[in-house]
Amino acid sequence: MWVLGLTGGIGSGKTAASDFFASKGITVVDADIVAREVVEPGQPAWQAIKDRFGDQALLADNSLNRAWLREKVFAEPEERKWLESQTHPRIRDNIIRQLQQATSAYAILVSPLLFESGQALLTQHTLLIDVAEDIQIARATSRDQNNADQIRRIIAAQMSRAERRSRADDIADNSLGLAELHQQLELLHSSYLLRAASQ
């Protein structure tokens, strides 16, 4: 299976891009969704987290108390390493399984941390959805009800825009809006169909 890795910073338009490809019948595997699935109640990673941290790591409905867990692992780097050892291999295995089950002409792995996480190694080609930082902040604050400082902190914690641009095979500019983004993606989709068919 020929796999495209799709990435971009917060508020860049990854979802708008992946929705476009999905509308063309392309299988989309979203790393963020897989990351949530592996810690659903009853899953092995969820059980390991419950065993290690006790009920304080859970909400009343038995789902993870993400706010508490985030605070805990950022305050204690050893706990973060342990948590990642429980979740990352399972996320990777699930992503691989879902990509292998894809029946479309090619498949897409959407991941905000495509390059940082090593998930780019699961792909043959990469596409960056790119916008300037001020646009990222404006879009992310209006969408997520987060304040601008919070968004700036998230951007600062992610790979720099310049490095992402230097690593990506293709770049789609999403600063002008959906119609222009879709025009670029239409051309890229045609090229990906050819690449997938010729491999």
Task: Enumerate the H helices of the chain as residue ranges.
Answer: 14-23, 31-37, 44-53, 66-75, 77-100, 133-144, 148-157, 161-167, 178-198
DSSP-derived secondary structure letter, 58? B
- Nearest-CA neighbor of 83 among 63, 94, 64, 69? 69
Contact yes or no for 158/115 (Cβ under 8 A): no
Q: Pick out the residues of the known binding site for ATP.
A: 11-16
Q: Pick out the residues of the known binding site.
A: 11-16
At what angle are helices 44-53 and 66-75 packed, to 10 degrees? 60
Q: Is the dihedral of CA 87, 92, 96, 102 positive or negative?
A: positive
